[in-house]
Every structure is written in C-alpha cells, then in structure tokens.
Amino acid sequence: MTRAVLLAVLLGLTAWSGSALAQGAKAPAAPPRPAAAQHTGELDCRQCHQGSHQGVVRMYLGLGGRGTPMIPSHMFQVRVQCVACHIVPRADEGSAALVGQTFRPSEQACVNCHGEKYRGMLQRWGDTLGRMRVVVEPKLAAARAGLADSGAKGAKQARARELTGDAEYNIQFVALGRGVHNVFYAADLLKLSNGWLDEALALLGKPAVKNDDALVRGGYCAVLCHETAGVKQRETVTFRKQAVPHVRHVTEFGATCTACHSAEVHKAVTATPATCGGCHHSAQSERCESCHRAQSAFYRGQEATSLVKLEPNVMVNAVGCTGCHDWSKKHSRKAVAEKCAGCHDAAYTGFLDEWTAGFDKEATLVREILKRAETALARQRRGGRAVSDADAAGMEARKALALVQKARGVHNPPAAEALLQIARKKAEEALARSAQR
C-alpha cells in the first residue's frame, strides 16, 4: 500500500468517525486500565508492626504507670534521644544492606558522657530492678491466690482486686517497658506495687508475705546510684534545728531513702515533723531519750550544771516517758495531765497547769530583770567602766533560765524551782552591780 493510499484511508476513517458521532452514535468503550500497585514507593512496615516501642517510650517519658505523677527520665529532661545510648550495631555491614540495622544499648555511652565512675551503672540498674521484682512477685502471686479463695466480700474484696490489678500492671510495665530507661520511675512503680499488695493481702485476711523489702520500700536510691558513683553519706544532718544521725537511720533504724526524700525530685526533702513522729512517737518506739536528751537528763537529775545540785524527779524509777506521753493520741497538756489521774487522785490533773504557769511567770520576771540590767550595763560600757562582775552574773542567770526552758521545767519541778531561784538571784545581782558607780 502506497503512502498516499494509507493517508487517504486514515483521513476517511476520521471523517467517518466524526460524522457518526455527529449522528448520535456511541463511541467504543475504553479498554480497562491495568491495576495499580498495592503501595507506591517504600512499604509501610507499620501495617503489620504496630506500636513496637510504646512501652519503652512511655517508660522514658515517665507516664503510663498507675499511682504516680509523671516522672520523666533525667535523660529525657535534657533532651537525650535514643541514639545517644543505642550505639552498638546488631548486624554487620554486609547484612545491614539486606536486613536493616538495629542499634543496641551500651554502657560505653554512659562512660562517654559521665566518666569512668559510671561504668557498671547500667548493669546495676538492671540487676537492682530484677531484685525488686523478686520481692514483689511472690506478693502478687499470694494476692491472686487470695482473691481466688478469699472469704472477703463487698468493698474489701473490690478494693483488694483493684490494688492487685494496679500492682500487676505496674510490675508488667516495668518488665516490658525496660525499666532501665527511667530507673527511678520504675523503682517508684515497684515501691507502690509492694505497698498495694501488702494492703490487698490484709484486706483479704491473708498472712503477709515475709521477705526483706527494704530495697523496694525506698532503699533503692543508694543502690541504684550513690554506691556506684561514690556518693559519701553525711553522718549527721540538721533538720528543723535538730541534729539527726543520717547514716544510722538507714544502717540501724531501717529507714529508707524515700521516707524522707522525694522519689521524683533529686535531693528534695519531703520529711515533716509528722514524718519523724510517725516513727519516733509510735507505739513501737521506746527510744524517746535518744532525741530528747535534755529532757531526759533533767528528769533524771543528770544535767551537768554548776549552778545548783540537781536531784532526780521522784518518779524517775516508776514512770518512763510513755507513762505521761501517749503519742498514739493527739498530744496536749490536757492529755498529759489526765495521765496523772491514772495513779493519783483527780486533783492531781491540775498540777501540770499550776507548775507550767508558775514557771512561765518566774521566767518572765527574770527576763525583765535581765533586760533592765543589760540596759544599765550598756550605759556603764559607754562610760568606760568595768562591768565584768555584772556580766558574769547576768551570764549565769541566762544559763539557768535557758536550761529550764530547754528541758521543760515540769519534767523535774523541784529542779526547775531551784534553777529559777538562782536565775532570779543572779539577774538581780547583775542589775545591782550595773547600777554601781
């Protein structure tokens, strides 16, 4: 077929098509398009692998557990990302091109930033959380068994079931969320779970699981960090102007770090006087005199002073501290006075108020005399006169007065009266000497 003929045929078909459409004929249907690929570009693994790291992420952020506020990891707070600690490739270079790469954590990352003293810290965190779980898991098993066969009904059983469920969730969260990503948050979750399970067993009427849970109750701060980092504990600290044997509270008295310090904020002190009283003034504590030394020495007539010879209170061999002070109830002067009636006539309940009012009145008088003496002594000093004798007398008066106030005169009324007499005598002597020209 010549080129001219072919061109004529094509032109004829075109003309025919145009005329046919113009007369209302239908155009032939278009052939079906080939099916599009299921996905364009790279496959989306999340179609099958969903939420792979959610537990770890929540642990690192410090949220998702039950019973605690949000406690972010210290590393998260300074914007440390996953790749800062996950630095060891799992696959070799040749395999990575085919299977991808996953980076594993390494304690070398700790050492790179914090120095050699942090070597072994990561291992210790994992081991310590494991030991804590060993403590709480038998309690969880006991609580589950208790719920299965408990005779407890109603509110008690419901509360026990709730506590057990929350504890089980936290224990699982620490395990699956890899607690080392936020070790103090994880430890706090286990601490809460430990207490909840103890409470659940008590509600169910089941015996407590006997194990050493000091680590879980709050002793984990020193184990997780302080020991490895070489932190030196202070033997004695001051709290509310009271010297406190810091180390002995842990080594001898069984106190835990979080009994006095925050688990959320580093170094923060959460203890209050009520915290101290919860132990020291409990029915189980008979160590009153280890803190209240001045009152004890005054009561026993053992306070060292050259001002007057102190005799013991006549009740010293018959009545101990808790004979008058019942800290299982709200403490007050009235409550102490009522203790007197336990052994004496009802009239004795008024003695405490009489003694206190009398001592307060005498102490106020001594202070007024000392104030007048000090004013006169100041004039003498400005005039260049020697006032050493008057100063000495005033000093002795203040010492006697301070001893009665610190030791509380009612712990030994005869001794308090003798000291206040000396205080008044010395104050008047200081005033008289200050008036001499």
pLDDT digits 0-9 by tens, 215-234: 777 666 666 677 666 677 78
Q: How large is the average pLDDT for residues 336-344? A: 83
Position with higher pLDDT, 322 vs 56:
56
Structural Rg of the chain based on CA atoms:
41
Residue 423's contacts (CB-CB under 8 Å, 6 or more residues apart) are: 363, 366, 396, 397, 398, 400, 401, 404
User: DSSP of 99-155, one letter per residue?
Assistant: H---EEE-HHHHHHHH-GGGTTHHHHHHHHHHHHHHHHHHHHHHHHHHHHH----HH
Q: Which residue has the higher pLDDT, 77 or 418?
A: 418
- Report d(CA 190, CA 167) in Å as an integer: 8
Q: State the Cα–Cα distance between residues 40 and 94, nearest whole angstrom.
A: 27
pLDDT at 277: 74
| pLDDT computed for residue 274 by the predictor | 79
Hunting for tokens 């004529």 — which residue is that? 8
pLDDT band at residue 17 using 50, 70 and 90 as cut-offs? very low
Residue 74 predicted with pLDDT over 50 = yes
Q: Is pLDDT larger for residue 12 or for residue 362? A: 362
User: What is the end-to-end Cα distance of the chain in Å, rounded?
Assistant: 153
Q: Who wins on pLDDT, 201 or 41?
A: 201
pLDDT-based confidence at residue 173 (cuts at 50, 70, 90): very high
Q: Helices in 240-387 by DSSP H: which ranges? A: 246-251, 273-280, 288-291, 293-299, 333-340, 351-382
According to the model, what pLDDT value does residue 376 have?
85
Share of the chain above pLDDT 70, in %: 82
User: 86 pairs with which residues across the strands?
Assistant: 105
- Widest distance between CA atoms in the chain: 153
Q: Is it true that domain 54-93+100-223 has CATH number 1.20.140.10?
A: yes
**Helix locations, 204-292, DSSP H:** 214, 220-221, 227-229, 246-251, 273-280, 288-291
**pLDDT-derived band of residue 53, with 50, 70 and 90 as boundaries?**
confident
The full set of domain ranges for the chain reads 54-93+100-223, 236-288, 289-437
Check pLDDT > 60 for residue 319.
yes
Give per-residue pLDDT as tens, 376-399. Answer: 888 878 877 777 888 888 889 999
Q: What percent of the chain has pLDDT over 90?
A: 14
* H helix or E strand, kind and range, residue 165: helix 154-176
pLDDT reading at 16 higher than 50: no
Backbone angles phi, psi at 88, to 5 degrees: -105, 115
> Tens digits of per-residue pLDDT, 81-91?
888 888 888 88
